[in-house]
Structure 1
Amino acid sequence: MAKVLVVDDTMFMRHAIKTMLAGSDYEVVGEASNGKEAIEKYRELLPDVVTMDVTMPIMTGLDATKMIIDEYPDAKIIVISALGQQKMIIQALENGAKDFIMKPFDQESLLSTIVKVMED
């Protein structure tokens, strides 16, 4: 079972992603509410894939993605962004994110994006 780290500053979104992954081949092994926590949790858990919100307090998902990729070049990070944040998505991909999902999204798009990233 693949391990997932869910990073989002809202508990609602972390819970929604966990619910979407329940019963799938993916197990949520950790959660973080900002980029700084995401880096600490990544080092601790070494997940197979990360769902990373872009806009968060303390440290953004963009900065956290760059720092994780610098340390773990094979990290598989999927950036989650709201509509209208195209510049941030491009920046995240330049920072090493493997793919992105636009909010709002459903279970099917989440799972298909994770499968695609895991296969690359």
Structure 2
Amino acid sequence: MKKRILIVDDAAFMRMTLRKMLEDAGYDVMEAPNGGEAVRLWKETAPDLATMDITMPDMDGISAVRAIKVLDPNAKIVMCSAMGQQSMVVEAITAGAKDFIVKPFQRERVLKTVGNALG
């Protein structure tokens, strides 16, 4: 059975870029444009992993990680950050994220990080 991944990012282009990489690698992909929607989808679908942008409207990625970890303490979440967000990445890891990938996305790094987090 295919692993299900939830991509959470307010930028449609970033979601599309990640979706293509992950679907090409054989994953089943869902999308959410913000943290609030990510929490709702996690409750409904319990994906195997989420990629989570840090800076989003409605609910930021760090708040979403905390909310998802309350729902599912074993949730696997990989943060997506732009350069210069190191302190926020540390906060996200402390909140329960497994790892992070830096934008712009590099296919090999994305697939390695996702594979490790799922492994």
TM-score by length of 2: 0.96
Alignment match, 1:84: 84
Alignment match, 2:64: 64
The Cα shift of 1:21 comes to: 1.2
Alignment match, 1:8: 9
Matches of 2:23 and 2:77 in 1, distance apart? 19
Runs of 4+ in 1 over 4 A off after TM superposition: none
1:1-120 paired onto structure 2 within 5 Å:
1-28=2-29, 30-119=30-119
The Cα shift of 1:25 comes to: 3.0
The Cα shift of 1:118 comes to: 0.8
Matches of 2:50 and 2:84 in 1, distance apart? 22
Unaligned runs of 5+ in 2: none
Q: What is the CA deviation profile of residues 7-47 of structure 1, one whole-angstrom value per residue up to 9, with x for unaligned ones?
A: 0001100000011112313110x211111001001111110
Alignment identity in percent?
45
Matches of 1:86 and 1:76 in 2, distance apart? 20
Q: Is the 8 A contact 2:43 2:71 kept in 1?
A: no
The Cα shift of 1:72 comes to: 0.4
Q: Is the 8 A contact 2:48 2:75 kept in 1?
A: yes
**How many residue pairs were aligned?**
118
Q: Is the 8 A contact 2:10 2:34 kept in 1?
A: yes
Matches of 2:26 and 2:49 in 1, distance apart? 12
TM-score by length of 1: 0.95
Matches of 1:33 and 1:11 in 2, distance apart? 8
